[in-house]
Amino acid sequence: MKKDLSHILFVSVMALSLGSCSKFLEVHPKESISDAQTIFDKTSAEEAVRGIYSALADGGYYGTSFQSIGYLAGGDIQWTGSQSQVQEFINHNVSPDNSTISAAWTAIYRVVNRANQVISKVPEVTDASLTDAYKKQLTGEAYFVRALAYFDLARVWGGVPLVTKPTLTASDNFGIPRATSEATYAQVQQDLEKAESLLPSTVNRFRATLKTAWALKARYYLYRKDWANAEAYAGKLIADAANYQLVNPYSSFFAGNVKGTAESVLEIYYNGGTETNGHAGQWLPQTSGGTRQWAPNDVLVSLLNNGAIGGNRSALIAKDNQNRWYGNLYRSINASSSYVIRTAELYLIRAEARAQQGNPTGALADLNAVRARAGISPSAAATRDDILLAVENERRVEFALEPQRWFDLVRTGRAAAVLNVTDPARLLLPIPSQQILLDKTLTQNGGY
């Protein structure tokens, strides 16, 4: 996807979309629409919603940049290239001029704007073929994706501008000051509540349903330390064992370029052509069409190859023809997925929430379900603190190549002890310098 990072936040969301072309979810090029798309009937409403998911899949968001922040900063990945801006995440010293954070900020706000278009316009469409139930579904999907976008913005930058109206001209939504972190998370909750009231109770692993909203609520409540609700919402999907399972063995959800297994709650599938998976290009070696720009470091390789810790999760890594380890999760440039929420995460959310509420038996049951799928023995943890540490360590290997580790250590207050990030200012990333220069209303995070 093309990105012009010289544009300001609210202008760039339009300009970028005009230059993009996507095949995400079988969207034809003509359906990769502008953020200013007129929504006037059923067909244009459907195209607008597909446009939201196309933007979600963009290389700046779940296509690479945003997710790379989560795993590059987590302490288990090494940079093998020469661009210092990537090493900044590993060193926890990110500059406001860093191109990755600029790409992520722009891409996420593009998603917000497309969602705002749908939320604003679809309920007002008059078209006999667009039923009220379908209007609710499409609008609910937009609320869900906007909630995800603001959740991701909050955990990277803290409080951000809350844009809830469509951007149509250069002056629209310009000059909105940053909300607090609390207000940003409150917006996430509000959007999830709306999504929950509108979405159908079906199963779709590539688009939002009521069950997808429940899964994101479980993650949201975990971050907010609302243990009872985190447990309850994770439990809703775990109880639906006919549709959400820990597929066995571990590699079953990604090996052979499969898509949409029972492991996935929400995934983004790239089917090649003009829409390829940027993760694969960064992780895979040249013999597989990639550049191996980043790779598992020696510590992670040791953990994954330890039969008592990694178990069959050693399938996440492999060696190339030069005997170098590389990441094996994103197995193809032209046909592979990015994972937004997996069933394993729900088990580990509930395990952590149960431990925090003084239920060690329930916590261990969930933790050991994940360990059993990995082919390793039950945890010997007994005390609350031991169980919480065991869950932290399990998440480390379970999501080794996914964007969880850094955010986990920040939300639990463990980044200083584990990664030696002792400056609290470094727990949030800087607002991109371009945005600060072009919109004087924006204020920089402390320490940058």
Q: Which helix (H) or strand (E) holds 76?
A: none
> How confident is the model at residue 33, as a pLDDT?
44
Spatial CA neighbour of 396 closest among 267, 306, 304, 298: 304
Q: What is the mean pLDDT of residues 412-419?
A: 98
* Gap between the Cα atoms of 62 and 240, Å rounded: 26
**Per DSSP, what are the bridge partners of residue 268?**
338
Helix/strand/coil for 139:
helix
The yes-or-no verdict on residue 28 having pLDDT over 50 is no
> How confident is the model at residue 21, as a pLDDT?
32
> How confident is the model at residue 8, as a pLDDT?
33
* Gap between the Cα atoms of 10 and 52, Å rounded: 16
Q: What is the mean pLDDT of residues 6-11?
A: 34
The yes-or-no verdict on residue 407 having pLDDT over 50 is yes
* Gap between the Cα atoms of 431 and 158, Å rounded: 10
Q: What is the mean pLDDT of residues 245-258?
A: 94
* Cα dist from 384 to 12, 224, 298, 301, 351, whole Å: 48, 19, 30, 28, 11
Residue 16 and residue 9 in contact, taking contact as beta carbons nearer than 8 Å = no
Helix locations, 57-180, DSSP H: 65-72, 84-91, 99-121, 132-157
Which residues, 6 or more positions from 356, have their beta carbon under 8 angstroms from its beta carbon?
Answer: 225, 227, 384, 388
More confident residue, 331 or 186: 186
The yes-or-no verdict on residue 159 having pLDDT over 60 is yes
Per-chain mean pLDDT for the chain: 90
Rg of the chain's alpha carbons, rounded to an integer?
A: 21
Percent of the chain whose pLDDT exceeds 70: 90
* Cα dist from 362 to 299, 337, 356, 377, 393, whole Å: 30, 32, 11, 17, 18
Span 30-78, pLDDT tens digits: 233 455 568 999 999 999 999 999 999 999 999 999 999 999 999 999 9
> How confident is the model at residue 38, as a pLDDT?
84
Domain map (residue ranges) of the chain? 8-199+415-448, 225-412
- Are domains 8-199+415-448 and 225-412 of this chain identical in fold? yes
Q: What is the mean pLDDT of residues 411-416?
A: 98
**Per DSSP, what are the bridge partners of residue 338?**
268
Q: Which helix (H) or strand (E) holds 408?
A: helix 405-411
Q: What is the mean pLDDT of residues 146-166?
A: 97
How confident is residue 176, by pLDDT bands cut at 50, 70 and 90? very high
**Domain 8-199+415-448 in CATH 3.20.10.10:** no
Residue 113 and residue 163 in contact, taking contact as beta carbons nearer than 8 Å = yes
CA angle in degrees (0–180, nearest 5) for 76-220-152: 60
Span 327-366, pLDDT tens digits: 999 988 877 899 999 999 999 999 999 999 999 999 999 9
Q: Which residues of 193-283 form beta strands (DSSP E)?
A: 264-270
> How confident is the model at residue 256, as a pLDDT?
87
The yes-or-no verdict on residue 129 having pLDDT over 60 is yes
The yes-or-no verdict on residue 419 having pLDDT over 90 is yes
Residue 399 and residue 68 in contact, taking contact as beta carbons nearer than 8 Å = no
**CB-neighbour burial class of residue 242 (10 A; exposed 0-12, middle 13-18, buried 19+):** exposed
Q: What is the mean pLDDT of residues 133-137?
A: 98
How confident is residue 124, by pLDDT bands cut at 50, 70 and 90? very high
Residue keyed to tokens 């803290």: 158
What's the topology of domain 225-412?
A: 1.25.40
* Cα dist from 409 to 10, 153, 170, 187, 389, whole Å: 32, 17, 38, 23, 11
The yes-or-no verdict on residue 142 having pLDDT over 50 is yes
More confident residue, 170 or 425: 425
* Gap between the Cα atoms of 61 and 114, Å rounded: 14
End-to-end C-alpha distance for the chain, whole angstroms: 29
> How confident is the model at residue 113, as a pLDDT?
95
* Cα dist from 115 to 70, 164, 256, whole Å: 24, 9, 33
> How confident is the model at residue 19, as a pLDDT?
34
Helix/strand/coil for 175:
coil
> How confident is the model at residue 23, as a pLDDT?
30
> How confident is the model at residue 99, as a pLDDT?
95
Q: Which residues of 159-298 form beta strands (DSSP E)?
A: 264-270, 294-296
Structure tokens at 144: 């869900």
The yes-or-no verdict on residue 276 having pLDDT over 80 is no
> How confident is the model at residue 34, as a pLDDT?
52
Which residues, 6 or more positions from 4, have their beta carbon under 8 angstroms from its beta carbon?
Answer: 12, 15, 16, 19
